[in-house]
Amino acid sequence: MSDHSRTNVKRASARRLNSQVIKQAFIFGLVGISNTVVDFLIFFLLTHFIHIFYAAAQVVSYGSGMLNSYFLNAKVTFSSSRKSRTRFIKFVILNISVLCLTLVVMHSLLFLPLYLNKLISTGVGMVFNFVLSKVWVFRD
């Protein structure tokens, strides 16, 4: 195979990889929207109707979204048919880390209205979560 042919094969492979990452990021975003709906709904119910402290409500609501996320991302985003206890443990470790990150962000933004604060902290967590889900948790 000539150098020119090898270069073309490498470029095509890189385009496919970029296309796959973009597709996964898009699907991850859609799954993230469903997780966020679950998270926000439970957070709103707990803080607005039951009047639970925001940090406790964040733990419960984030945990609910996390379970939704695991099942949808394993089946849809990263299309992994492997069932692995190690992968689930990595997922839980990552999401506990993201939960801690969101709590730190929320605490640092307490001067904002609570739901704007929640939205910003969720966005920060989502970026961190996608990158580590791709390269660590669901890596094949």
Can you give the pLDDT of all 140 residues of the chain as single tens digits?
Answer: 666 666 665 666 666 667 877 888 888 889 989 988 999 899 999 999 999 998 899 889 989 998 898 888 888 887 766 667 888 899 899 989 998 999 999 999 999 998 899 889 988 998 898 889 888 988 76
pLDDT at residue number 7: 63
Reported pTM: 0.66
Cα–Cα nearest to 55, from 136, 123, 114: 114
Q: CA-CA distance, 97 to 50, in Å (whole number)?
A: 26
* Two structure tokens written together for 4: 């020119």
Q: CA-CA distance, 101 to 139, in Å (whole number)?
A: 22
pLDDT at residue number 115: 86
What's the domain count of the chain? 1
Neighbours of 13 (CB within 10 A): 10
Question: Which residue range forms the structural domain that includes residue 38?
Answer: 3-137
pLDDT at residue number 116: 93
Count H helices, E strands: the chain?
4, 0
